Structure 1
Amino acid sequence: MEQHREHRQSHPATDFTALLAALRASAAQRDREGGHAAREKQWIADAGLLTLAVPREFGGIGARWTDIYDTIRQLARVDSALAHLLGFTCLQVVSVDLWGNLQQRERYLRGTVEHRWWWGNAVNPLDTRLMAVATGDGGYVLDGRKGFCSGTRGSQMMTVSAHDPATGKPVFAVVPTARDGITVHDDWDPIGQRQTDSGSVSFAQVRVAPAEVLTRPDTPHASLRTLISQQVLISLFVGIAQGALDEARVYVNAHGRPWINGDVAKATDDPYLLQRFGEMRVQSVSAEALAVRAAHALDDAWQRGSSLDAETRAHVALATSEAKTVAHRAALDAGEKLFDACGARATRAALALDRFWRNARVHTLHDPLDYRVRDVGRYALCGTLPDVSLYT
Structure 2
Amino acid sequence: MPDTKGGRSRVQRDVWITGIGLVSSLGEGLEAHWQALASGSAPVTDVTTFAPYVVHPLVKVNFDTQIPKKGDQRQMEAWQRIGTYAAGLALDDAGIAKNTDILSKTDMIVAAGGGERDFAVDAAILNDLSASNDAGRLLNERLLSDLRPTLSLAQLSNLLAGNISIVHGVTGSSRTFMGEESAGVDAVRVAYSRIAAGQSDIALVGGAYNAEREDTLLLNDLDDFCLKGEFRPVFSGGAPGIASGSMGAFLVLESPEHATARGAKPIARISGVWSERARRTVDGALEQKIKNLLATAGTGVGTAVISGATGARDATEAEAKALGDTGVPVRAVTNRLGHGFEAQFIAGLALAALAVSKGALFPPLAGDLLEKAGDGISRAVVTQVGHWRGEGAGVVEKA
Identify the structure with bigger relative contact order (alpha carbons < 8 Å, sequence gap 6+): 2
Instruction: Establish whether TM, by shorter chain, passes 0.5.
Output: no
TM-score with structure 1 setting the length: 0.26
Q: As a proportion of its length, which structure holds more strand?
A: 2
Q: As a proportion of its length, which structure holds more helix?
A: 1
TM-score with structure 2 setting the length: 0.25
